[in-house]
Amino acid sequence: MPEGDTIYRAARTLERALAGKTVTRFESVLPALMRVHVDDPLTGRVVESVCARGKHNLMTFSRGLVLRTHMRMNGSWHIYRPGESCQRPRRQMRIVVGTADYVAVGFDIPVAEFLTGRALVRHEELRQLGPDLLGETFDQADAASRLRGRAQEQIADVLVNQRVMAGIGNVYKSEVLFSCRVNPFAVVATLR
């Protein structure tokens, strides 16, 4: 499962490849995305930015449209040069965003939707995220307060709760608890 650091690196790579570039190609096997593209084409828009928010990837296009993707267990973004063969089978492609210089292909992405800027601000799942561990404005005090607010829950469950801190998954949870010699079944209230 991609964790916050994987999504962060993917967003940075997509940002370097696509930001400031005009979309020359858009494809998706997801009907909701294609419906938006048919009604108001992505081609001709500029990719303004790509960023990660917890485990969500947000690709912002000109004229106020944002593509939100979540990789869940198996999704990934790959970057290719136009005409370059993909390393994964075509049947796994879900989204293609192409520019004159690069083609970004989202494979096995189960969650994808277009949002307007207003809808992005109101998006319930994004609004409920805790402080993003890799975000530029990570608030350590807020994260600690949220941890303490789950005093009767097991620390392993609290660490992967994206409402407490966004970005941690099972790998980091397990490694951090092991390194700190903390029993994953310990209740938060028993920890210092």
Residues serving a catalytic function are 2-3, 55
Long-range pairs, 35-40, Cβ under 8 A, ≥24: 36/65, 36/114, 40/65
167 and 54 Cβ atoms separated by less than 8 Å: yes
Query: Which residues 6+ apart lie within 8 Å of 153 measured at CB?
Result: 187, 188
The span from the CA of 80 to the CA of 94, in Å, is 15
10 and 4 Cβ atoms separated by less than 8 Å: no
Residue 178 CB burial class (10 angstroms; 0-12, 13-18, ≥19): exposed
Query: Which residues 6+ apart lie within 8 Å of 43 measured at CB?
Result: 23, 24, 25, 26
End-to-end CA distance of the chain: 29
Structure tokens at 52: 């990660």
CA dihedral 12, 17, 19, 24 (to 10 degrees): -140
